[in-house]
Amino acid sequence: MADENLVQRVNVHTSHCGDVSVHILGDYKNISQKAVFITVHDFGANATSFDRFINHESMTEVRAKSVWINFEVPGQSPNAPDLPHDFKFPSLQEIGEDLVEVLNQLHVQYVVGFGEGAGANILTRFAMTYPTRVLGLLAIHPTATSAGFKEWVKDKMMSWKMKNANPSAEDYLVMYKFGNNKAFDEQMERSEVENRENMIQQYLSDIRGNTNFKNLHAYMDAFLNRNDLTNQLRERLTCDTMIVCGTKSSFQHTVVTMYSHLNPQKSSLLKIDNVADVLIEAPEQLARGLILFCKGLGLLTSVSTPAERARSLSQGMDGAPRRRMSMQEADVPRRLSTSRPPEIH
C-alpha cells in the first residue's frame, strides 16, 4: 500500500466533544513534509464521507503530497451506539473550538480547512477563533446566518421525525444533499438522470445501513440552533477562503449571503454548473479548484490540475514540447505571509 493511501483512526479527548474519533488519510509519519487538511463533515455523514473524493483519480498528486485529518462529530460514526443520556451535545462553536485540541494532540501546527454544510460552519468558527492555525478555508455549501423562522419550523419538525429512520426523514436528507432537481430533469440526458438516481440510491443505502438517527438528530439540532456569524466574517475570518456551490444546490442563497460578507481581497466563489452535490457529482472540478486555491496559499505548487495533466499527456504523445501553465492562466493570486511555513511542493 502506498504511503498516501495509509489510513488510521486515532481517538482524541476534547473539552466539549469528549472522546472523538479522527480518521487520518496519508503518510502521517512524514506530516511535516506534507500539506495538512482538516475536514469536518455535514450531518447525515461521517469522517469517511470525504474518502471517495480524496481517493478520486483527479486527486492522485494531491494525495501523495498531503495528509487529511477527518474529524468525526460525536455519535456520527457508522453504526454508532446512542450517545449517553448525560452527554451534552456541543454547539457548533464548541466543536470548532475543540479542533485546536485535536491539532495540538496530533502535533500539527498549520492546516487548510475543508468542510461541507454544517461542517463548513464549524470550520469557519475554528478559523475565526484560531486564525494563526489556519492557512486557508475551503467551504462547500456553507451558511453563516442563523436559522430563519421557516427553516427553524421545517427543520425542527423534520429533526423530530429523524429520531428514527422513516421515509420522510430520508426524503429530507436526499433533498438537503442533492437538491430538488425535478425542474432540471427534462434538461438532463437519460444517462445523467440514471447516474444521479444511482448516487441517491447508494446514499440512501449508506444512511439506512449505518446511521444512528437519534445521534443525527442531536447534530441537526446543534446546526438549527447556530448563531449568526455574518457581521463578524469580514474582520475575524482573516485566512484566504474559497466557497464552493453547485448551481442545482438548495444552498445557493445562503452561500451568496455568506460570500457577500467576506473580505473581497481574501475570498473567492466557485460555482459548479448542473450539480447539487459537488463532492460526488463534480470531483474533477472540485479538485481543480482545490489545487489552484492551495497554490495561492503556497502549498502544492508542483501539483498539476487534471486538465494540465491531460494536456501534458496529449502533447507528450504528439511529440510537442510540454508547457507549464502560467500564473495568469491559473488566475490565482499568491498571497503569502512570512509567518507561514515554507512552501510545500
Rounded (10°) CA dihedral 6, 286, 263, 90: -50
Domain boundaries, the chain: 3-147+227-330
pLDDT at 338: 29
pLDDT at 200: 82
pLDDT at 330: 40
pLDDT at 334: 36
The closest of 219, 42, 14, 180 to 106, measured between CA atoms, is 14
Instruction: Say which DSSP state 4 is in.
Output: G
Asked if 212 and 80 count as a contact pair (C-beta separation under 8 A), the reply is yes
Q: What is the CATH number of domain 3-147+227-330?
A: 3.40.50.1820
Q: Could you read off the pLDDT of 309-324 as tens digits, one per residue? A: 666 656 555 554 433 3
Q: Across the chain, what does the average pLDDT equal?
A: 84
pLDDT at 180: 65
pLDDT at 170: 75
| One-letter amino acid for residue 26 of the chain | G
Residues of the chain with pLDDT under 50: 1-2, 149, 183, 320-345
Query: Distance between CA atoms of 228 and 234, rounded to whole angstroms?
Result: 13
pLDDT at 241: 98
Q: What is the pTM of this model?
A: 0.84
Question: Which stretch of DSSP H or E encloses residue 246?
Answer: strand 240-246
Q: Could you read off the pLDDT of 22-32 as tens digits, one per residue? A: 999 999 889 98
- Using DSSP bridges, classify how beta strands 35-40 and 7-14 pair: parallel, antiparallel or unpaired: unpaired
